[in-house]
Amino acid sequence: MGIFDEIKKKLSHEFIDIIEWLDSSNDTIVHRFERYQNEIKNEAQLIVREGQIAVIINEGKLADVFNPGTYTLNTQNLPILATLKGWKYGFNSPFKAEVYFVSSRLFTDEKWGTKNPVTLNDDRFGFVEVRAFGTYAFKINDAGKFITDIVGTDNHFTSFEINEHLKSLISTRFTDIIGEANLPIELYAANTNELSETCLEVMSPEFDSVGISLEKFFIENVSMPEELKKEIFEYSRLNKINLDKLTKFKAAKAMEIAAANESGAAGAGIGMGMGFAMAQQMGGMLNPQSQTTSAAPTQNTGAMPPPLPQRAHYFYATNGQQSGPVTFEGLSSLFTSKSVDANTLVWKKGMANWTALNLVPELQALLGSAPPPLPNN
């Protein structure tokens, strides 16, 4: 072999193209391989590493897509491009095309959130506003579609650029989903797992339409105004606490605060005394047994009137049917109208059995209220 053959062989090896991309960033999705005038030599070597997909674009049209591997670019490995170029018998001269490397790895921990509050209509609290935020993960599952529909001619496309588009899509669909869920407002935060799964299912087709696979979607929190949160807590407590007792407790707290604000230290002493008095009364209501088991009854000081005596209510039997309850006055009217008589069976709370009316001590007064029979003419 002559010296010129060796030089020719050496030069042919030096001019063989190596097309590859080493990604040193964590956010690059698409990188365009830059060549002088986009010229690629025949028999160039294309190296596609794991986690990458190579896309060749010719005059704005998708030509070929290459998965991980090493390829020699010629008419056998570029059938679509060869057809577009019209090379029926192969080619030896450089050809112009754009090579894009697309990262196919999973992009995790991408943030999303509602830019503006979402208005919901709750059956109990009316129109309320909530906010939500969370994370999602995605990857490119159709590199060709993603290049043509999203990237275009951008030579360096990052996750930040696509996130703005994806977050707008997520926010819109999330608003629709929670609006259609029609849950009580306090249950949205308690059902984030179920809502996350629903969002993933609903949003996946729209991601797929541009070559993106939505792999994971998480709702980390659904928040509401603090005033509404306090109202919800109050509402839940009302289902557990007697309303009358709660009102008395709040009244005691209000009087204590008012006394403290009105007259300084002296008022604070008065307020504490009133608070202690109310607390003792509430203690008696919450634990009625403590009143019956005390050593000696406490004398009414006159500060508050004693409770009104409870009026007895009576049930009575007519024609084998139970009627009532009625008060003493009501039973008196029935006796006067002869709806009941001395032998009518009656019963009230505390009585062991039904008893004839004339045998109940406090009802014997009714026996004299009926008029005597008319004299015979």
Q: Give the C-alpha distances (Å, rounded to integers) separating 160 from 35, 156, 163, 206.
A: 26, 11, 5, 19
Half-sphere exposure of 130 (CA within 13 A, CB side): 24
Mean pLDDT of 167-174: 88
Q: Is the pLDDT of residue 286 over 60?
A: no
Q: Would you state the pLDDT for residue 12? A: 44
Distance of alpha carbon 42 from alpha carbon 215, whole angstroms: 39
Asked whether the whole model's pTM tops 0.85, one would answer: no
Q: Using one digit for the tens of pLDDT, what is the confidence trace for 84-131?
A: 565 554 555 567 778 899 999 999 989 998 888 888 887 777 788 888
140 and 102 in contact (C-beta within 8 Å)? Answer: yes
Q: Would you state the pLDDT for residue 114? A: 87
Q: What percent of the chain has pLDDT over 90?
A: 17
> Pairing state of beta strands 44-48 and 18-19?
parallel
Mean pLDDT of the chain: 76
Q: Using one digit for the tens of pLDDT, what is the confidence trace for 55-78?
A: 988 777 888 899 999 988 876 667
Which three-class secondary structure state does DSSP give residue 355? strand
Confidence of residue 293 (pLDDT cuts 50, 70, 90): very low
Q: Would you state the pLDDT for residue 136? A: 94
Mean pLDDT of 271-290: 52
Higher pLDDT, 16 or 176: 176
Residue 69 pairs in a beta bridge with 48
Nearest to 220 by CA among 178, 198, 188, 186: 188
Nearest to 111 by CA among 136, 130, 131, 132: 136
Q: What percent of the chain has pLDDT over 70?
A: 70
Q: Is the pLDDT of residue 265 over 50?
A: no
Q: Using one digit for the tens of pLDDT, what is the confidence trace for 232-256?
A: 666 666 555 555 666 776 777 777 7
Lowest mean pLDDT among 39-53, 143-157, 293-307, 336-350: 293-307
For the chain, give percent helix, strand, coil, nearest 5.
Answer: 40, 25, 30
Q: Would you state the pLDDT for residue 127? A: 82
Q: Would you state the pLDDT for residue 101? A: 93
| CATH number, domain 314-368 | 3.30.1490
Distance of alpha carbon 105 from alpha carbon 143, whole angstroms: 12
Higher pLDDT, 308 or 42: 42
Q: Is the pLDDT of residue 369 over 60?
A: no
Q: Is the pLDDT of residue 297 over 60?
A: no
Mean pLDDT of 297-321: 72
Tell the CATH superfamily of the 107-229 domain: Band 7 domain (3.30.479.30)
